[in-house]
Amino acid sequence: MNLYDRIPNNVNLSEDKKLQRALEKWLPNYLDWWREMGPEGFQDKDVWLRTAVDVGSEGWAHFDYVKMPDYRWGIFLEPPKPDAKIGFGDNYGRPAYQEVPGEFRNSLRRIIVTQGDTEPASVEQQRQLGKTCPSLYDLRNLFQVNVEEGRHLWAMVYLLHGYFGRDGRDEADALLERRSGNPDKPRILEAFNQPCDDWLNFFAFTMFTDRDGKYQLSALAESGFEPLARTCQFMLTEEAHHMFVGDTGLGRVVRRTAQLMREGDVRELGGIPLEIIQKYINFWFSYSLDLFGGEISSNSADFFAAGLKGRFQEQKQYTEHTAANEIFTMQVVEDNQLKPREVPMRNALNEVLRGEYVKDCEKGLARWNKILAEAGLTERLYLPNPRFHRHVGEYAGHTFDLHGNLITREEFEKRKSEWLPAMEDREYVRSLMHPVTEIGKIANWIAPPAAGIKGKPFDFEYVRLG
């Protein structure tokens, strides 16, 4: 472990001078990006953050006050497994790739760049949120997510610099040049160009969009390209906290709304009505589904065949690892009707991964609905049908209602404001967003968390603003 190097790492960076020099050259550019695009207005504040210092299942993180630009962004990979094998696809059982196989070089670089691009993008999307935090606890969680997305960018940049030579270095530079939502140089994936400018958006984003990250990383953690697998395995431990922030954040909004519903009119009482929460769920769930790619995909087949991207928990969940002779049946639109179509399994793997993701999201909905039930309310939240409001894949270009029934574009446009956040919904939510920064205090529209962070109470000074 080289914790006190300029770039903390467990990959013996000091023994690879060329790579070390390249990354040390990238570091100041990264810091410039962080100062320009990281959380606005809090760069000189002490924040009680966890920093990854090891990859062991115990004690991998260190908690202390740190100013964000001084955060120790490091490179940490799970330890290599002796004689690691390719776990699926046409080369199943052969030794894992330790270097990039030439014929898959472009695909692999594309996978890494696409994943890498999401990490700084989310920091950019969230950079104004600190100014309207509902509590110091939430402010700290926002910054924790932000610095770790920064570290995830480092993880991908390490692979680009370490394994892709010249074009890897160019891609690493480009990761600092694109900007979320900028029409001239947008981020690669659309969900990462959507504004995330209020805390309901933030919680929905970390619940649904970070959870896409979990499934992409899980599929890559199975990769036969071992450095990628080991990197993604460790990123998943950090990612779990991001989803916790989203899941419990939305749960706390639901809890507060349920309380206010029993007291009177939620709007008059300054809370967020359930209908608005539902619309935010519909928006972020549908955009996040797009991130899995087309339902029928030759890329997914190629990546799987090559042993680059596996299925969710490939080793744990499956006994047959070639998926060569299987068929998957899905609904597609033909002659303006939904019809079943049989697809070779390997071409349907995006859809299979999306299915795993939907199951996971449903568990979140069940937790929130339990809060409503316990409050004695009969209203429930739900996930829209996965065909609803899609911009990628088989269903893009068609319009569906929340139940997944085909409808005309005209009808969709007419009813859109019932289903997705309208301008006035966004404005209403924004009107509630006033910063609450007194120790132990919380905004009116959200309930406090059940517990603080790492044994600290809720009324701990998670961020020192003084």
- Which residues contact Fe ion (rule: CB under 5 A)? 119, 149, 152, 210, 239, 242
Residue 326 contacts residue 351 (beta carbons within 8 Å): no
How far is Cα 153 from Cα 348, in angstroms, rounded to an integer?
29
Which CB atom, from 96 or from 207, has the smaller least distance to Fe ion?
207
Which CB atom, from 152 or from 311, has the smaller least distance to Fe ion?
152
How far is Cα 141 from Cα 129, in angstroms, rounded to an integer?
11
Which CB atom, from 179 or from 242, has the smaller least distance to Fe ion?
242
How far is Cα 71 from Cα 129, in angstroms, rounded to an integer?
19
Which CB atom, from 148 or from 425, has the smaller least distance to Fe ion?
148
Q: Least distance in Å: CB of 118 to Fe ion?
A: 7
- Letter string b/e over residues 359-387, b meaning 16 or more CB atoms within 10 A of that residue's CB: eebeebbeebbebbeeeebeeebebbbbb
Q: Least distance in Å: CB of 216 to Fe ion?
A: 10
Helix (H, G, I), strand (E, B) or coil at 117: helix
Q: Least distance in Å: CB of 254 to Fe ion?
A: 22
- Locate tokens 């390997």: which residue? 346
Q: How many CB atoms lie within 10 A of CB 329?
A: 10
How far is Cα 375 from Cα 438, in angstroms, rounded to an integer?
28
User: Which helix H or strand E contains 350, and what residues bound it?
Assistant: helix 349-374
Q: Least distance in Å: CB of 271 to Fe ion?
A: 28
Which CB atom, from 242 or from 389, has the smaller least distance to Fe ion?
242
Q: How many CA atoms lie within 13 A of 368 on its CB side?
A: 28
User: Which helix H or strand E contains 353, and what residues bound it?
Assistant: helix 349-374
Which CB atom, from 26 or from 234, has the smaller least distance to Fe ion?
234
Cα torsion angle, 120, 430, 383, 449, sign? positive
Which CB atom, from 291 or from 345, has the smaller least distance to Fe ion?
291
Q: Least distance in Å: CB of 213 to Fe ion?
A: 5
Q: Least distance in Å: CB of 333 to Fe ion?
A: 33
Q: Least distance in Å: CB of 364 to Fe ion?
A: 15
Which CB atom, from 88 or from 284, has the smaller least distance to Fe ion?
284
How far is Cα 353 from Cα 289, in angstroms, rounded to an integer?
10
Q: Least distance in Å: CB of 152 to Fe ion?
A: 4
